Protein backbone atom coordinates (compact mmCIF):
# COMPACT_ATOMS: atom_id res chain seq x y z
CA UNK A 1 0.00 0.00 0.00
CA UNK A 2 1.58 3.29 -1.05
CA UNK A 3 2.30 5.95 1.54
CA UNK A 4 2.41 9.70 1.10
CA UNK A 5 5.62 11.70 0.93
CA UNK A 6 4.66 13.32 4.24
CA UNK A 7 4.47 9.92 5.95
CA UNK A 8 7.85 9.04 4.45
CA UNK A 9 9.31 12.26 5.86
CA UNK A 10 7.90 11.48 9.33
CA UNK A 11 9.25 7.91 9.39
CA UNK A 12 12.09 7.90 6.86
CA UNK A 13 14.57 5.87 8.94
CA UNK A 14 11.96 3.37 10.09
CA UNK A 15 10.72 2.85 6.52
CA UNK A 16 14.23 2.52 5.11
CA UNK A 17 15.18 0.00 7.81
CA UNK A 18 12.04 -2.00 7.06
CA UNK A 19 12.88 -2.11 3.34
CA UNK A 20 16.40 -3.30 4.16
CA UNK A 21 15.20 -5.98 6.61
CA UNK A 22 12.31 -7.36 4.59
CA UNK A 23 13.41 -6.69 1.03
CA UNK A 24 9.88 -5.47 0.28
CA UNK A 25 9.92 -2.19 -1.66
CA UNK A 26 8.26 0.89 -0.17
CA UNK A 27 5.86 2.74 -2.46
CA UNK A 28 5.48 6.48 -2.08
CA UNK A 29 2.87 8.63 -3.85
CA UNK A 30 4.02 12.11 -4.87
CA UNK A 31 1.91 14.31 -7.17
CA UNK A 32 -0.04 11.28 -8.37
CA UNK A 33 3.10 9.32 -9.28
CA UNK A 34 4.09 6.16 -7.42
CA UNK A 35 7.78 5.97 -6.56
CA UNK A 36 9.46 2.85 -5.18
CA UNK A 37 12.34 2.51 -2.74
CA UNK A 38 13.89 -0.85 -3.60
CA UNK A 39 16.91 -2.53 -2.00
CA UNK A 40 19.80 -3.01 -4.40
CA UNK A 41 20.21 -6.66 -3.49
CA UNK A 42 16.91 -8.58 -3.49
CA UNK A 43 16.21 -10.67 -0.41
CA UNK A 44 15.00 -14.24 -0.87
CA UNK A 45 11.33 -15.02 -0.29
CA UNK A 46 12.27 -17.37 2.54
CA UNK A 47 14.16 -14.61 4.33
CA UNK A 48 11.00 -12.45 4.25
CA UNK A 49 8.88 -14.99 6.11
CA UNK A 50 7.61 -13.75 9.44
CA UNK A 51 8.34 -15.84 12.50
CA UNK A 52 5.34 -17.43 14.19
CA UNK A 53 6.54 -18.65 17.56
CA UNK A 54 4.24 -21.23 19.06
CA UNK A 55 2.47 -21.93 15.77
CA UNK A 56 2.99 -25.65 16.31
CA UNK A 57 2.76 -26.92 19.83
CA UNK A 58 4.08 -30.40 20.45
CA UNK A 59 6.59 -32.75 18.91
CA UNK A 60 6.74 -32.46 15.12
CA UNK A 61 7.55 -36.19 14.97
CA UNK A 62 4.00 -36.89 16.22
CA UNK A 63 2.62 -35.65 12.88
CA UNK A 64 4.15 -38.61 11.04
CA UNK A 65 2.11 -41.16 12.96
CA UNK A 66 -1.21 -39.28 12.86
CA UNK A 67 -4.26 -40.81 11.22
CA UNK A 68 -5.36 -38.18 8.70
CA UNK A 69 -8.10 -40.33 7.16
CA UNK A 70 -10.82 -38.67 9.24
CA UNK A 71 -9.96 -35.33 7.54
CA UNK A 72 -9.87 -36.72 3.99
CA UNK A 73 -12.72 -37.60 1.66
CA UNK A 74 -12.87 -38.67 -1.97
CA UNK A 75 -16.04 -36.66 -2.41
CA UNK A 76 -15.64 -33.04 -3.32
CA UNK A 77 -18.10 -30.53 -1.83
CA UNK A 78 -20.92 -29.56 -4.17
CA UNK A 79 -20.42 -26.35 -6.11
CA UNK A 80 -23.18 -23.80 -5.86
pLDDT means per 10 residues, the chain with 80 residues, are: 93 94 91 93 77 76 79 68
* Reported pTM: 0.50
Quick one: pLDDT at residue 80? 59
Number of residues assigned to the chain: 80
What total number of domains does the chain contain? 1
Q: Is residue 79 part of a domain?
A: no
Range of the domain at 53: 3-71
Q: Is residue 48 part of a domain?
A: yes
Quick one: pLDDT at residue 19? 92
Q: Is residue 76 part of a domain?
A: no
Q: Is residue 78 part of a domain?
A: no
Quick one: pLDDT at residue 35? 96
Dihedral in degrees, nearest 10, Cα atoms 26, 27, 28, 34: 150
d(CA 27, CA 41) in angstroms, rounded, equals: 17
Quick one: pLDDT at residue 79? 62
Q: Is residue 77 part of a domain?
A: no
Quick one: pLDDT at residue 78? 64
Amino acid sequence: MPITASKLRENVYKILDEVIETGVPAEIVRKGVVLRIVPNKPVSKLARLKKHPGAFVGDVEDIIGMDWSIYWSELQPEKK
